[in-house]
Amino acid sequence: MSLEDLVLALLKRWELLIVAAYWLYWLYGKIKAAITDAGGESVQALPEVSQAANAQEQPRRPAPPPRPAAPPPRKAAPDAVQRLIDAAAAFEQEARALSDEVEREPANRRFVGVLREWIPARCAEIREALQRVQGPMDLSLIRAMNALELVLAEIKDLVSQRRNPELRGRLGDADRLADACYEPVIAFARAEGLPLATAYPATQLAPLDLAIWTGFAPTQIAPIFLPPGFFESLIFWPALAHEVGHDFFISVRGLDQSLRRDLSLDTEENGTRALYLRPDGSGLDAAELRRIFGGWLEEIFADVFGTLMCGPAYVKTMSMVFGAREDAREVLAVGRDPGTGRYDVHPPGHVRVHVGRVVLERAGLHEDAGRLWNGWMTRHGFSPDEPPPLLFPMQDRYLAIRFQPMAEIATELVERLYSGPLEGLNGFGLSDISGLDYGPSEHFEARRARDAFLGGQVPAVRDARRVIAGAVLACVEKPELEEQIRARAREAIPALGTYEQAPDAYRRQAPAPAAQRSAGPLEVAPGAVLEALLLREVLRRPASRPRPQAVRPRMNPDAGRFFDVQRRTGKTEP
């Protein structure tokens, strides 16, 4: 290509030439400004003289002032640090003084550990951290002081209520029931080496709904808030087991994450997000419905736990508390936070009663499960053949989702929680925990207590869970006797932290007339008992059969004749 052709080609690209000229001009200005800043004027303006002459004639341009250094970090005022140190020391002194007092009070003795060990240890940690403060105050130290003050104030409230003579016995009954729900959990955690944080529940009257303070778990105390009318009705008593289930879920380190892996559920944060509808209009897939259960997992776990503790009485309590007040659709609608737009972590009442029904069926109580479910459906006008859909809020409307696929997911989760295997429980299910396996035997004890209540007597049943379950079942049959049943139920439970004794601790009461009538004659076919014993011996494993041992008679020095030592001591000596 000749030079003329090249010029013609460039002229055709005049836009490129203009842009190139503009960038050359901009680059020239930048270079000139840089040279001017470094040595004064531009190169063309410098006179052609020697370096010495330039030094004499041209005054040296003063150097720019140095950039001011960053201000040093603001140190915390010594007075503020010392005030916090003094406050931590005062907290420790107050906690130790209170621990010396409650150690002598049976109702408050469970708070000695947190007052004498946990609070002083935290105070010492905070004081050491404050003494090392050199720069600005760490806000975490202030938050730790506020949390410490909150813990001490809560313990003082718990102690104060138990020092009230009118509340001591009532709270003691509730504590006894909560303890009966905690004991199987604590025993299982110790046997399996599970890191359980909480060890002692403590009930407290408060102007709140029934709830448990799970954030208190590091102190080994679990405050359970009782609503103001708790002791005037039996309706909330079985729900204590539900709150203990919450604490079990939170207190076992890593259980939440492990259950979500076992059940293939999303996190609670993702589970509470609104349903996502496909933009192509094809609706929802199964994965989207399952995601919702990630937000409901803790509540479902607590409902399974509560049903395994109190049986049909707990499901009856749920049906009464979660039932609709005005519109039947109340039990179908999913709650939503108006501020964040997220779904409530509590499933609709319809789902929760279904969960209780599945647990009862799994425990072998099919008749009770069917009766409670049919009563729930009839009360709200629902047809068993056409179950109503669940209602999910979507901006300004509700989205109806068929109940059948949601019920299938809920049933699957309940079955896994009930029977396992669950990695967070060392491969066990909830029903494998001794004392957490409500079945026909436990239901018989509850009905025995129910019959005693209906017969106007105090039941000779030692387990507080069975007493409360029987009281609820009795109130279902005769609600007009609730006040008398409630009084006898409290009499049957020896209040924790008091010197109350069980009614049959020293003497045996006559069986209730109602219990006698309900039991009736035992109809057993001739030879059935013998066949049962023979079958037991045949099916027993050979290694478990005890070897027969001869029992030597022993002289009774008092009666002057031979007698079986089992008559006096209850033991048999070889």
Q: Which of 13-27, 47-61, 94-108, 211-225 has the lowest mean pLDDT?
A: 47-61
Greater model confidence, 61 or 456: 456
Q: Are residues 425 and 445 in the same domain?
A: no
Buried b (16+ CB within 10 A) or exposed e, 328-348: ebbbbbbebeeeeebbbebbb
Stretch among 98-112, 265-279, 408-422 having the lowest mean pLDDT: 265-279
Q: Where are the alpha helices (DSSP H) in 163-238?
A: 165-192
| Model confidence at 131: pLDDT above 90 | no
Do 386 and 507 fall within a single domain? no
Torsion-angle region of 76 (φ positive above 0: left; ψ -120 to 50: alpha; else: beta) = beta
Do both 303 and 383 map to the same domain?
yes
Q: Is residue 555 part of a domain?
A: no
In a domain, 81, yes or no: yes
The band of 235, judged by pLDDT with boundaries at 50, 70 and 90, is: confident
Q: Closest Cα to residue 486, out of 475, 497, 478? A: 475
Shared domain for 454 and 344, answered yes or no, is no
pTM for the whole structure: 0.73
407 plus 311 within the same structural domain: yes
At which of 403, 432, 461 does a domain end? 432
Tell me how far the alpha carbon of residue 54 is from its chain's centroid: 84
Classified as helix, coil or strand, 5 is helix
Tell whether 406 and 452 lie within a shared domain: no
Domain count, the chain: 3
In 3D space, the residue among 97, 141, 98, 93 whose CA is nearest the CA of residue 120 turns out to be 93
For residues 465 and 420, state if they share a domain.
no
In this structure, the answer to whether residues 393 and 259 fall within a common structural domain is: yes
Cα separation, 181 vs 239, in Å, equals 11
Residues 328 and 410 in one domain: yes
pLDDT of residue 51: 39
Confidence band of 132 (pLDDT split at 50, 70, 90): confident
- H or E stretch covering 37: helix 14-39
Q: What is the pLDDT of residue 57?
A: 43
pLDDT above 70: percentage of residues in the chain? 74
The CA distance from 175 to 200, in Å, is 9
Q: According to the model, what pLDDT value does residue 66 have?
A: 62
- Segments forming the whole domain that contains residue 479: 440-518
Do the domain assignments include residue 223? no
CA distance 397 to 336: 12
Distance CA(475)–CA(320), nearest Å, equals 12
Q: pLDDT per residue over 271-281, tens digit each?
A: 999 888 776 65
What tens digit of pLDDT does each residue of 460-503 get?
888 999 999 999 999 999 999 999 999 999 999 998 888 777 66
Same domain (yes/no): 373, 295: yes
Report the percent of the chain where pLDDT is more than 90.
53
Q: Are 197 and 218 in contact (CB under 8 A)?
A: yes
* Interatomic CA distance for residues 372 and 460, integer angstroms: 27
Which whole number is the average pLDDT over 354-380?
A: 95
Tell me which of 163, 193, 219 is where a domain ends: 163
pLDDT class of 63 with cuts at 50, 70, 90: low
Give a yes or no: residue 282 inside a domain: no
Judgement on whether residues 292 and 398 belong to the same structural domain of the protein? yes
Query: Does pLDDT of 104 surpass 60?
Result: yes
Positive or negative torsion for Cα 122, 128, 131, 135: negative
99 domain residue, yes or no: yes
User: Is residue 390 domain-shared with residue 483, that is, in the same domain?
Assistant: no
Cβ(220)–Cβ(113) below 8 Å: yes
Whether 526 is covered by a domain: the verdict is no
Last residue of some domain: 411, 432, 453? 432
d(Cα 294, Cα 271) in Å, to the nearest integer?
A: 5
Structural domain includes residue 238: no
